[in-house]
Amino acid sequence: MVPATPLGPDTSCGVSSAVQRVARSLAKTHAKSLAKTTAKTLATNAVLSILLLFIAAPAQAAEIPGFTQVRSQHRVSDFVLLDRQGQPLQGLRLDPLRRALGWVPLQEMSPALLRAMLLSEDQRFYEHSGVDWSAVASSAWGNLWNSRTRGASTVTMQLAGLLDEDLAQRGGRSMTQKLGQAWTAGRLEKRWTKAQILEAYLNLVPLRGELVGVPAAAQTLFGKRPSGLDHRESALLAAMLRAPNASVARLTERACGLLKAMNERCDGLEDELGAILARKPLQWEDAPQWAPHYARLALRPDGPPTQRSSLDARIQRLAVQSLGRQLGELQERAVEDGAVVVLDNATGEVRAWVGSSGQRSEAAQVDHVLSRRQPGSALKPFVYELALERRLITAASLLDDTPAQIPTAAGVYLPQNYDKHYRGWVSARAALGNSINVPAVRLGLMLSPEAVFERLNALGLQLPETGGFYGPSLALGSADVTLLALTNAYRTLANGGRYSEVVLPKASAGGATPASPPKTVAPLPATRQVADPRASFIIADILSDNNARAITFGLTSALALPFPAAVKTGTSKDMRDNWCVGWSSRYTVGVWVGNSNGSAMQQVSGVSGAAPVWRDVMLALHAGAPGKAFVPPPGLVHQTVLFETVQEPARQDYFLAGTEQSVMRTVSTEVIISNPAPGAIYALDPDIPPAHQRLRFQHQGHLGAAGPARWRLDGRPVGQGPTVDWMPMPGRHDLQLVDAKGRVLQRLQFEVRGASVRAGRRSSL
């Protein structure tokens, strides 16, 4: 509504001299006609009373706003999100109480609609000057005899009621309201053109229920723009103008009358109207529907109807399409949902935000970019970076990939590799590149879970518990994180360990339109150094090395791009979540695939689930402009490394200055028991025959020429060599590892409990 302001003194009269002369003439005629019939006299008196009160209207009235002002102040319920170049991406309704769309020019209204509307509301619209005096007299005469007549309010008078809050009750019958509408209508006709009056009326008039304006009604009821309305649809809308919420039968009667006046048929109209009013609201076929979740974050109800964002329409559409295509290929593997986010490394702005798979999902409205899920191996790069930074390892260091049993407060933790195979000693580069679990867990223990926890929080992951709560499993991604936070943490590595928050969606306050030039770049967000830039570069070098991941992923996987890009996959426990996150020199892309309800997928790994979408988006981002090579920061040494005791070829590797080595070998001859763990408690499974249950004794290291180590259990020999399988017996046991001369190398205790025992810490055999 336009606020009311007083008129100036120069507008106190407000009635043309011609109208005044007509009123005086009618008054004289009225004085000479007392002898006429009572009915006719009363009708004339009614018309005369209206004219005399109109002449005597108060000088203080609402100022008439200009057409441009009314159009610019038009309040909509649905807003449109634009991309960074001004292309429409998403329409979204923000006002739950009323439905009004953007202003539509008169030339974009259907001719059939204009004809039906004027036939229904104001047949002499182009002839009168705001008030149809002939209709006023006819209405007064008909109302006297209580007959059904067409109302005397013109389109201009109805518009006056829409523009002035004091006259807002359309269809009211008070004398004050009618006089006010007539007063304002006369002034509107002087300041506005007929086309402007008609255009404003069609955009502002209330229609059925919550619908305001023809554009909203055309979309909601017919799924069309106003320009596409045919004769039947136009007649139905015109029938709603006088009584928007009338019954289907009443509206059909009015619409049928209009159709007949336009020489059109109206058979089947009542059934058609009933079906229209009963179905769900429709959208335009070409309505932009590419970024609903991002639009909910970005669009402001107090902003302009079109609001610009940082998204890239081309990348957004491609991400939506690629995710849908990939999920279609995985539909036989119990996968229905996914999410994608793309961040600009330099600015932290969002270039793409796909929160859901849409109609394919059972929870299409859930924004999975912001939902917490377990990232699995996608957390490993941060563990390795911290270990490199603290000089615990180098990229060439040899790590132990053998079965491990780790005592915890809840029992014995038994980390396993994804493929259930163990490779002995492997370099850190190969362990991270091939996503081997056991070395990562051992690194996490070397750092301590609290240290890993603190680093992950410094990277913005905002873990809700403590390092002790997650324990050694934190290195394998047991904590819940959001796709947005995880992708931004990878962006931190891409920026040399400098962290800054994501620039959250903020729409332009200037009402940018598709034709508007791009807005100036926003100031860069504040940053802080979280990780060592040299260690961050080494992680980037490992994760972009296609040879380093060849054992697990091969040389031609979806992770191999024609330009430098670091990438890591992750799969959570029971295959509930599947991730692929990586970066180039310009962008960081994160993809999640899974199910909204948390159910497990069927044999879907990171490289088969999320990676193809990651690849599609990365290639699109760098189309015509391949990513640049990662530039090593100062303080690194690049030299050749030889591996003597493991089967890895010589290679060039990066080292933090002072940690470089030219030859890597396993030199330790220390013999230690790797299984069982000290203090372990085992329970016999009553569902498995005892003869098929075995506990394996295993040690690492060798005695060289002294021969194999020997095992003693409760003082009795049970075998020799690196491994011995023993049939477990209930009770507490003392295990010793001795050399050929009987010297004890290591001693520990463990316990085996019978099938009926349920208390205490346990580990499956």
Residues 2-27 have pLDDT tens digits of 333 333 333 333 333 433 333 344 33
For position 59, what pLDDT does the model report? 39
Question: Strand, helix or coil at 114?
Answer: helix
Confidence of residue 434 (pLDDT cuts 50, 70, 90): very high
**546, 564 Cβ separation under 8 angstroms:** no
**452, 382 Cβ separation under 8 angstroms:** yes
Residue 411 has pLDDT above 80, yes or no: no
CB-based burial label for 226 (10 Å; 0-12, 13-18, 19+): buried
Give the tokens for residue 757.
């025992």
Burial of 429-452, coded b for 16+ CB within 10 Å and e otherwise, reads bbbbbbbbbbbbbbbbbebebebb
Pairing mode, if any, of strands 411-413 and 406-408? antiparallel
Arithmetic mean of pLDDT, 421-433: 93
Confidence of residue 154 (pLDDT cuts 50, 70, 90): confident
For position 152, what pLDDT does the model report? 61
CA–CA distance from 182 to each of 91, 132, 161 (Å)?
38, 10, 10
Arithmetic mean of pLDDT, 393-419: 86
Instruction: Report which of 601, 582, 591 is spatially closest to residue 322, judged by C-alpha positions.
Output: 591
Arithmetic mean of pLDDT, 240-249: 88
CA distance 143 to 136: 10
Arithmetic mean of pLDDT, 626-643: 94
Using one digit for the tens of pLDDT, what is the confidence trace for 34-75? Answer: 333 344 444 444 454 455 444 444 434 457 889 999 999 999
Using one digit for the tens of pLDDT, what is the confidence trace for 584-632? Answer: 999 999 999 999 988 999 888 768 899 999 999 999 999 988 889 999 9
For position 687, what pLDDT does the model report? 79
High-pLDDT (> 90) share of the chain, %? 57
Arithmetic mean of pLDDT, 386-402: 94
Residue 426 has pLDDT above 60, yes or no: yes
Enumerate helices (H) and strands (E) in the chain, giving the number of each.
Answer: 23, 27
For position 418, what pLDDT does the model report? 85
| Backbone dihedral angles phi then psi of residue 160, each to the nearest 5 degrees | -60, -40
Q: What percent of the chain is helix, strand and coil (3-state, nearest 5)?
A: 35, 20, 45
Residue 42, number of CB atoms within 10 A of its CB: 12
Q: What stretches of 491-547 adopt beta strand conformation (E)?
A: 498-499, 528-529
Give the tokens for residue 574.
């029971």
CA distance 676 to 700: 12
- Of 499-513, 548-562, 666-680, least confident by mean pLDDT is 499-513
Q: Which residues have C-beta within 8 Å of that of residue 71, sequence separation ≥ 6?
A: 103, 200, 203
For position 578, what pLDDT does the model report? 94
DSSP, residue by residue, 89-108: EEEEE--SS-B------GGG
For position 270, what pLDDT does the model report? 92
For position 706, what pLDDT does the model report? 67
Residue 424's region, left for phi above 0, alpha for psi from -120 to 50, else beta, is left
Residue 362 has pLDDT above 90, yes or no: no
Instruction: Report which of 121, 83, 128, 322 is spatially closest to residue 202, judged by C-alpha positions.
Output: 121
Confidence of residue 137 (pLDDT cuts 50, 70, 90): low
Domains assigned to the chain? 9-63+103-273 (1.10.3810.10), 74-97+290-374+481-633 (3.40.710.10), 672-753 (2.60.40.10)
pTM, two decimal places:
0.78
Using one digit for the tens of pLDDT, what is the confidence trace for 183-236? Answer: 778 888 899 999 999 999 999 999 988 999 999 999 999 999 999 999 999 999
For position 349, what pLDDT does the model report? 96
**635, 579 Cβ separation under 8 angstroms:** no
For position 138, what pLDDT does the model report? 58
Strand partners, 79: 92
For position 112, what pLDDT does the model report? 94
For position 35, what pLDDT does the model report? 36
Give the tokens for residue 624.
């015509």
Confidence of residue 315 (pLDDT cuts 50, 70, 90): very high
